[in-house]
Structure 1
Amino acid sequence: MKNPLTSLFSVNSTSISLKTCISKSIDLLKHFTNQKSISHGESLHAHLIKIGIDSEKYLSVKLLIMYSTFKKPLEVDQILKQFDGFNLVVRNCLIHANMQTGDFNKARKLFDEMPERNEVSWTALISGLMRLGKVEDAMWYFGDNPFRNLFTWTAVITGLVQNGLCYKAMGEFRRMIGCGVMPNDVTFTSVLRGCGEMGDFLLGMCVMSFVTKVGFAEDISVCNALITFCLRLKMVDLARSVFNRMGSRDVVSWTAILDMYIEMGDLKQARRIFDEIPEKNEVSWSAMIARYSQSGYAEEAAQLFQKMVLDGFKPNTSCISCVLNALASLKALPAGRNIHGLVVRTGREGDVFIASSLIDLYCKCGETKDGREVFDSILHKNVVCWNSLVAGYSLNGQLGEAIEVFDRIPNKNNVSWNSLIAGCVLNEQFDEIIEVFNQMLLSGELPNKSTFSSVLCACASLASLDKGKNLHGKIIKYGFGCDVFVGTALIDMYAKSGDVESSRLLFKRIKEKNDVCWTAMLQGLAENGHAKEVLDLFYEMERTTTVPPNELIFLAVLFACSHRGLVDRGLYYFNSMEKVYGVHPNEIHCTCVVDMLSRSGRLSEAEKFMENMPCEPEVNAWAALLSGCKMHRDEERSERAAEKLKELTEKKPGGYVLLSNIYASAGRWHDVSVIRKLMKEKGLKKSGGCSWIEVKNRVHLFYSQDGSHGQSLEMFGILDVLAFDMFVL
């Protein structure tokens, strides 16, 4: 960092006038105090002593304020000796400085010991007390104040608004006007802020009229307050009108109107306003970057952040966190490491919010080791850091590490539990999810919508209807029965558990259905073989809603057409996907068409379709064609399909098994043995079939030719008895 003193003392001090030197020194001392840079302030003080102007009255006052702010009593006493006895200006400065540092008792002691006070003394004490939240003390001093002028009234009104006592502030404003004291720009700014926080439209309009009447309609700070008031009350057009009428604008004006478009979600217009801002500040940059990141425009957020840094602006904590989140979604690890370097260089590596975003970045890029190093470097960890690491391990399949970190979290919250449950979902540890959910309830932590959605996913995957119904009861108990997201998860759970009727009832009860809800119902019907209902429901969705069909909805529709033998209708929907609905077909949609044509015996069309597919046919497409060939005994075409399938399934047994079955159905046993031998040579083995049942809240899994179950002997014994009885009968 370049030393700010260089520009002032790079030449001999005699080459600039004494007045200029004092003026620049005062500005620098004020800057160092605001930036909390005591080392630079002390360096400047030393140089002022060297050139013999440190005792200049105004410089001494600024030095006094600086040392008081940094609580340097020895330096304060030394400077006070330069003043001859009581000095009103010095005392007022000390009161203000002590209030700034929160030393209320010392400030009040200075005030009480003053032999005489002026309006500045009273205003400094009252405004300081208000800033510290000591409203009653401030009002007591205000009542005893002999100077009931504009400045003390404004200090009281501003302080009351800052402490959330807006109604009381409006009362003092009326009293002030009644006493004949006219407000200034600061008064109007505070009053308008109070009107906005109260949501009082009529009072705000009256104040706006008063603003015009007393001649502050062109004041920048008052206009900024008017814009903020209008935006708070959702009066967008009026806010824009005030902005357009302003003769001159500052960065606050531009940032306020920028925030308006950002809140409206109009990023295009917000960016246009942002580009028009003549003098941007860190707030306007951060607002635009944050909204890009939060709205899913990660690349734009990263590019804007880069431009911000190149233009010489220093990003704040929120801005760095937002750009790290954007880079995490892009998995842009090199750029993320550069931001990490910037964080270290600026001394902010200990910030828990930035550290949490870094953990998230590294974990989403698969670098959990680096994420753990960032986590371990945080001295004062909060629950956000812990949760980020749990989620990061879960995302990378390191569930053991995630559980180990989770168990160490000192104060778990809802997000902690949800992170672990979501990790179990990602790693398909569905039995573990139920156990974690029960532990969560026992801990006293209340589940939310996200919790129920994840646990319902586990019940759906386990096809555990009893657990799902039990969970449905809890959802109603906790008041989430009408939520569209939880309702959609329930529809999916019931459908995957085979209870389509319950899915239908839940679907009908949801008033505001979104695309996810329609998708869940259509897929549930398709997976359970209700092909006619899929097509009827899809027609109803098109006729009665504005919900656009998505890829999954079209997949359910094509699946239904395939199983109903409605080939021409299915082809119509497939061809209209991109032309009518703007949905680009993917490999799975194409496979569905191949399956549809193959099932109906239109094998030549299926083969021709595969040759002209907009994408490369996947393994399942060739398998579908082979299956159709098997069904319709087309050996010649099956040979061609099998050769192609062999190229794609070097390490997958499905295609070979299908080809073997085709040869077997045709009585070509020699070819069957050749395929089986080829599978054996390649070390391929088809996974055994699996079934399961749930008994007393426990899921029992059974695999083909598997005797690992604890009660296998008893079960096989019963099967032998049944087999004997059937044979005898």
Structure 2
Amino acid sequence: MSSYYFGKVEELEKAHRESSLVEKLFRVRNMFSTLFSIYSRKSLKALIRKSVTLLEFYTNERLINHGNALHCHLIKMGLSSQKYIAVKLLIMYLDSRKSFEIDQMLKEFNGFNLVVQNCLITANLQWGKVIDACRLFDEMPERNEVSWTSLISGLLKHGNVNEAMVYFERNPFSNVFTWTATINGLVQNRLSFQAMRLCKKMLQSGVLPNDITFTTIIRTCVELSDLGLGKSVLGLIVKAGFENNVCVSNSLVTLFLRLGEIDSARKTFDRMEEKDVVSWTTILDMYVEMGDLREARRMFDEMPERNEVTWSAIIARFSQSGNAEEAVKLFQQMVRHSFKPNVSCYSSVISALATLEALQAGMNIHAHILKIGMEINVFVGSSLIDLYCKCGNTKDGRLVFDEIPEKNVVCWNSMVSGYGFNAQLEKATELFNQIPHKNNISWNSLIAGHLGIENFNEALQVFDEMILSGEQPNKSTFSSILKTCASLASLERGKYAHTKALKLGFQHDIFVGTALVDMYAKSGSIESSRKIFKRMPTKNEVVWTAMIQGLAENGFAEESLRLFEEMEKKSSIAPNELILLFMASGDERHYTSVVDMLSRSGRLFEAEEFIKSMPLEPEANAWAALLSGCKTFGNETLAGRVAEKLSGIVETKPGGYVLLSNIYASEGRWKDVMSTRNLMNQKGIKKSGGCSWIELRNQVHLFYSQDETHTQSNEIYWVLQLFNSEIQSHLN
């Protein structure tokens, strides 16, 4: 038996040679060796204590085979029926749902045992068998405080709030543990007001809170966003003598951070006599959320002691905040300092490499992960899928996906998103249809894929299917769909999406609001765009840009300029390149209009001088307007100069080739037309086909010249022929 056991340990050590489990296994081997020496010295108490510790380890690490081996050894020694060992064996088998072994262990207890019954109640609650747990509890001839607390907290975890509160009122053991478990359960069910009322009732009953109670109460204040209440709780904490408790202080730091009290958070952190990993990670998060990555890094460097958890935390924060290069550098330092990355760390650094599109570095880490057997982990696997797909290698991304034995929805979404990112929508749709349990991210991935290649109708169709499936859209969904509606200038569909967003309470979200401003402006409903913009509680440079652009494109140039000036005066936002580009393009249109006006009235030389005096580069349309005037008024000399200028512009602006070709054609200069068209062919320049569309019953129908792709094209052309015949008959 002992050789079997040590053989299993060696196999597990070999498979996970470089993982954190190795250190634990070495400790287990030493402990198991100690069992023999202890037994030889007949030290029964020490033997039992070591056996209990081993069984707890096997239960926590889910090493049921090792637990079985130890159980057999304990049977041989006659210790399997010993009370503490038997209970630990039962818990191990309950945790692993080994029904045969559970039945055998229950026979060991020979009838009712309070501890065993409590274990069975807890197990049934973990398995989701709430009715069985209540039945076991009600049938117990006697109950202790563990019985009551386990049942009440278990019911609350399953959302059975009313039933839990009935048992709470019947509970004869009014102690801090039951009160705290119940308050915590109410917070988990987002019943913060009820939780605070129960806190008050607990204090009135004379039960003093402990550190866990205070931590729970502070979390309630965070949920309620009530800083005043939090400060009142702080007074209770000081009065009860818990102000130096690490867990309580960490919760206070989190409270102040969530409610925007940055100075209070930092002062609380600085006053802490003892700081743990959570303390440092929380304050690091503060600086990351503020965008002050330099200070976050300085705080990390000041930490008196770092472990795998703190390294993983800082790498994850830098990766998530978009500072991928720094995340990779930190990972390299971590390895150089001989710290062993955990699952979270590998996932974060792979995500950073995906952002950088650093395929070779990612492949090197993938090779290392294969050696230690971690590639089957769903989080590491999802990050690897993302890496390969963002580097354009969906084939290897799919290989990683297929190798993951137990896929969760994150894995499925990563692969669907990867196909969409690489414009492989057929594969994305095929895989999407195979997802066993879709969430809104699954739908969003497919919608984004269609939007990325301008499959606007398909994106709307997926959105409709999402609504019909009962899946609730999130902010990202509406941002994508509203962009789609803006691209199609589909006002009715945009209004429908707006209504859904209002019902779900997303109207104040800055991303949804920006998409609404853009959609209404591009659909010609500038008044609706203005209203959305004015109602937005906070505005960033993107929404200002959308509104300024919308006004300019709808002919409200002066208002667009005023809004630009208002942004500079009233907000702290500096004009970015995009805003300046829109402002400049709006000015170009004004100059072109003046040129067109002068050219139409025959003031050709004045128009030419006006173009030359423009403070910015004239657009092709300005020269085209002047050339058209030259043709109208027969000024061939000026027309030659203008045509030469226009030809120079189109070298850098391919769309101008078509414009120049049309002007030559209108003047009958067919050799120049052919020369321009040949030049376009040589450069591989193609003019995008003109497109018309009509929206009917919330569906957009697209039409191109000579297009026969519409499902009802035969009927449409038949009707057009009928109209044409009617027109001809009336003309004749």
Q: What TM-score, normalized by structure 2, do the two folds share?
A: 0.69
Specify the alignment match of 1:672 in structure 2.
673
**Does residue 196 of the first structure (1) align with residue 222 of the second (2)?**
no
Contact 1:223–1:242 (Cα < 8 Å) also in 2? no
1:188 Cα deviation after fit = 6.0
Does the Cα contact within 8 Å between 2:325 and 2:352 map onto a contact in 1? yes
Name stretches of at least 5 consecutive residues in structure 1 with no aligned partner.
1-31, 116-120, 144-155, 179-186, 569-597, 611-620
- Aligned match of 1:205: 235
Residue 530 of structure 2 corresponds to 504
CA shift digits 1:38-77 (9 cap, x unpaired): 6873576458859996756676345423553443222223
Output the CA distance in 1 between the equivalents of 2:273 and 2:39. Answer: 46
Aligned to 1:718: 723
For 2:73, give the aligned amino acid: E
CA distance in 1, matches of 2:48, 2:646: 92
Q: Does 1:65 align with 2:70?
A: no
Among 454, 463, 486, the alignment partner of 1:460 is 486
Map 1:227-242; keep pairs closer than 5 Å.
Answer: 227-234=249-256, 240-241=266-267
Note closer, same or farther for the CA distance 1:386–1:272 as it changes in structure 2 (3 Å cut). Answer: same
Name the counterpart of 1:630: 627
1:265-344 matches, cutoff 5 A: 266-344=292-370
- The offset of 1:251, in angstroms, is 5.0
- Residue aligned with 2:693, SS: strand
* Residues 1:485 and 2:491 aligned together: no
Contact 1:227 1:240 in 2 (8 A): no
* 1:538 and 2:535 are equivalent in the alignment: no
In structure 1, C-alpha distance between the alignment counterparts of 2:122 and 2:427, rounded to whole Å: 50
Q: Report the equivalent of 2:695.
A: 694
Give the Cα–Cα distance (whole angstroms) in 2 for the partners of residues 514 and 265 of structure 1: 15
Which amino acid letter does the alignment assign opposite residue 211 of structure 1? G
The answer to which of 289-298 and 677-686 deviates more is 677-686
Structure 2 CA distance, aligned partners of 1:113 and 1:716? 91
Partner of 1:614: none
Question: What is the aligned-residue RMSD (CA, Å)?
Answer: 4.9
Of 553, 560, 581, the residue aligned with 2:579 is: 553
What is the aligned partner in structure 2 of residue 594 from structure 1? none
Deviations 1:542-563 (A, max 9, x none): 3433343333322222222222
Give 1:205's aligned amino acid: G
Give the counterpart letter for 2:75 in structure 1: D
Residue type at the aligned position of 1:402: A
1:357 pairs, out of 380, 383, 400, with 383
Q: Deviations over 1:282-315 (max 9, x none)?
A: 2221221222122111111121122222222223
Using the alignment, how far apart are the partners of 1:531 and 1:511 within structure 2?
25
Matches within 5 A, 1:358-437: 358-437=384-463
Distance 2:467 2:207 in 1: 58
Aligned to 2:467: 441
Which runs of 5 or more structure 2 residues have no equivalent in the other structure?
Answer: 1-18, 59-66, 96-101, 127-132, 138-142, 150-174, 186-194, 222-229, 595-605, 631-637
Flag the 1:92–1:691 CA change in 2: closer, same or farther, 3 A: closer
Q: For 1:141 and 1:679, how far apart are their aligned partners in 2?
A: 83
Contact 2:432/2:446, CA 8 A, preserved across alignment: yes
The answer (yes or no) to whether the contact 1:464–1:694 under 8 Å persists in 2 is yes
How far 1:537 moved relative to its partner? 2.6
Query: Is the radius of gyration larger for structure 1 or structure 2?
Result: 1
- 8 Å Cα contact 1:48-1:54 kept in structure 2: no
Separation (CA, whole Å) in 1 of partners of 2:694 and 2:607: 32
Shift of 1:406: 1.1
In 2: Cα distance, 1:337 partner to 1:437 partner? 36
**Match of residue 77 from structure 1:** 75
Asked whether the equivalents of residues 192 and 225 of structure 1 are also in contact (C-alpha less than 8 Å), the reply is: no
Q: Is the Cα–Cα contact under 8 Å of residues 627 and 642 in structure 2 kept in the other structure?
A: no
Which residue in the other structure is 2:157 paired with? Answer: none
- The aligned runs of 1:241-256 (5 Å cut-off) are 241=267, 243-244=269-270, 251=277, 254-255=280-281
Given the superposition, is the C-alpha separation of residues 92 and 382 from structure 1 closer, same or farther in structure 2, using an over 3 Å criterion?
A: closer
Could you say if the C-alpha distance between residues 642 and 207 of structure 1 is closer, same or farther in structure 2, counting changes exceeding 3 Å? closer
Change in CA separation of 1:330 and 1:38 when aligned onto 2, cut-off 3 Å = closer
1:521 to 528, 541, 547: 547
Shift of the 237–477 alpha-carbon distance from structure 1 to 2, 3 Å rule, reads: closer
C-alpha separation in 1, matches of 2:352 and 2:610: 49
- Distance in 1, matches of 2:21 and 2:110, equals 27
Q: CA deviation at 1:605?
A: 5.8
Give the equivalent residue in structure 2 for 1:41.
Answer: 28
Separation (CA, whole Å) in 2 of partners of 1:173 and 1:530: 63
The structural deviation recorded for 1:644 is 7.5
**Shift in alpha-carbon separation, 1:283–1:718, aligned structure 2, 3 A:** same
| SS of the residue 1:340 aligns to | helix
Q: Is the 8 A contact 1:484 1:513 kept in 2?
A: yes
- Which has the higher mean CA deviation after the structures are superposed, 317-326 or 235-244? 235-244
Is the contact between residue 266 and residue 283 of structure 2 (CA under 8 Å) also seen in structure 1? yes
Q: Which amino acid aligns with 2:55?
A: S
**More displaced 10-residue stretch of structure 1: 224-233 or 249-258:** 249-258
Q: Distance in 1 between matches of 2:375 and 2:466?
A: 33
1:60/1:79 contact within 8 Å kept = no
CA distance in 2, matches of 1:47, 1:511: 66
**Range 430-439 or range 39-48, more displaced:** 39-48
Q: Note the C-alpha offset of 1:80.
A: 5.2
Q: Deviation per CA, 1:231-289, whole angstroms, max 9, x where unpaired?
A: 14317656645654566656565445445545665433322121011210122212212
Q: Percent identity?
A: 42
Question: 1:633-668 deviations in whole A, cap 9, x for unaligned?
Answer: 45336436636755x68xx6x444333345456665
What is the one-letter code of the residue matched to 1:139? E
Name the residue aligned to 1:224.
246
CA contact (8 A) 2:31 2:50 kept: no
1:693 match: secondary structure = strand
SS at match of 1:565: helix
State the alpha-carbon separation in 1 of the partners of residues 524 and 279 from structure 2: 59
Give the Cα–Cα distance (whole angstroms) in 2 for the partners of residues 393 and 678 of structure 1.
Answer: 37
One-letter identity of the residue aligned with 1:501: E
Q: Secondary structure at the match of 1:401?
A: helix
Q: How many angstroms does 1:370 deviate by?
A: 1.3
Give the equivalent residue in structure 2 for 1:660. Answer: 661
Q: Matched residues in 1 for 2:55 and 2:416: separation? A: 45
Please give the alpha-carbon distance, in whole angstroms, between the structure 2 residues aligned to 1:197 and 1:112. Answer: 44
Tell me, what secondary structure is at the counterpart of 1:548? coil
Larger deviation, residues 540-549 vs 664-673: 664-673
Which amino acid is 1:487 matched to? G
- Cα distance in 2 for partners of 1:545, 1:112 equals 76
Q: 1:148-187 residue pairs with structure 2 within 5 A?
A: 157=176, 161=180, 164=184
How many residue pairs end up in the alignment?
Answer: 614
**TM-score normalised by the chain length of structure 1:** 0.70
Which position in structure 2 is the counterpart of 1:587?
A: none
Q: How far apart are residue 396 of structure 1 and its match?
A: 0.7
The code of the aligned residue for 1:444 comes to G
Question: In structure 1, what residue type is equivalent to 2:308?
Answer: E
Q: Secondary structure at the match of 1:512?
A: coil
Three-state SS of the structure 1 residue aligned to 2:575 is coil
CA distance in structure 2 between the partners assigned to 1:279 and 1:236 by the alignment: 24
Equivalent residue of 2:241, what SS? helix
